[in-house]
Amino acid sequence: MLSYDTCLNRFLSYLHEIRGYSANTLEAYGRDLLQFRDYCREYYSEPEIDIKKIDKLTLRHFLGKLSEEGQSAKTIARKLAALKSLFKFAMRNEWIEKNPAYAIRSPKLPSKLPVFITQEQMRALFRSIPADTFIHSRDKALVDLIYSTGMRLNELVQLNIMDLNTHGNTVSVVGKGDKQRVLPVGTETMKSLEAYLTFRREKYGSYETYSPLFISKQNKRISPRDVQYRIEKIIRAFSEGARKNSPHVLRHSFATHLLENGADLQAVRSLLGHSSLSTTQIYTHVNTGRLKDVYRQAHPRAGRQNKPHNKNGGHDES
């Protein structure tokens, strides 16, 4: 007998050692899959569950229970995706003969458009952030770098000094699946980073190239939680009515503003580190207003005023 727990431990080791998943992702997988383990213990009235014993009906009952508890479709879909991956892994290793999760459909998710800050609001936001102390200059550099590059929060906190190329105005990040990409950094953003590093040297002295790029007051690598707190505080202070103020809003704004200004979707995909273009396509909603303006100005049936007639009664040629 191969127990569910043994299968789970081997699966998480595979995700960590072979697939290179981050600690946060592994924690999320583990949390969801352990919840199912606890459900199975109650469902089968057994402390240790044979992986072969779990069938489609068990999974359906589990998902139904989640729905009854008021879990969102997104949460249920995430847990089902984790279970599908686990059983697919078990199938590949020939620990089970059938994947009980294979034919179970994921709940339909409502289409949610990314929340973003407008270009004018971003300019005002940067004007509102002070940069007169180590903490202030660091926080401004945090906001600036995420917005300038579109990098993820976890990519940001893992940066070291050596990842920043101040001469070439680029930064190297390691994204999901240990995929590395080199991102351009704007001139103004580089100035924010240099100002922060100047305050840092004055406060903590020189640093090695392998030192963390962003540090806390304790001179240690800043945590994702601290970055999230600081950025939320900045955005909330700037706009109390902001619908959302997480670091991810800056990433959404980065992609949105690139597309608003005519950037190629494929290029935006590469900058964001998306493996699939379909993931990036959700940002195409931002062009709707701009396209309407273009349409109104250019299309003969858009209700615009006709061009003036020439003396011969025809339209002026252009």
What are residue 165's DSSP bridge partners? Answer: 170
Separation of alpha carbons 234 and 143, rounded Å: 9
**Residue 208 near residue 193, CB atoms below 8 Å:** no
Active-site option among 84, 176, 181, 230: 176
248 an active-site residue? yes
**Residue 227 near residue 214, CB atoms below 8 Å:** yes
274 an active-site residue? yes
**Residue 145 near residue 189, CB atoms below 8 Å:** yes
Separation of alpha carbons 14 and 93, rounded Å: 12
Active-site option among 84, 221, 248, 285: 248
Active-site option among 37, 79, 138, 152: 152
220 an active-site residue? no
Among 79, 48, 85, 47, residue whose Cα is nearest residue 63? 79
315 an active-site residue? no
Active-site option among 4, 29, 147, 283: 283
**Residue 39 near residue 65, CB atoms below 8 Å:** yes
DSSP-H helix ranges across the chain:
4-17, 23-44, 56-68, 73-92, 119-128, 134-149, 153-157, 187-204, 224-238, 247-260, 265-272, 277-280, 287-298
Active-site option among 10, 56, 84, 274: 274
283 an active-site residue? yes
Question: For residue 272, what are the contacts with CB-CB under 8 A and spacing of at least 6?
Answer: 150, 251, 255, 279, 280
Active-site option among 251, 252, 257, 269: 251
Burial grade of 97 (CB within 10 A; 0-12, 13-18, 19 or more): exposed
Catalytic residues: 152, 176, 248, 251, 274, 283
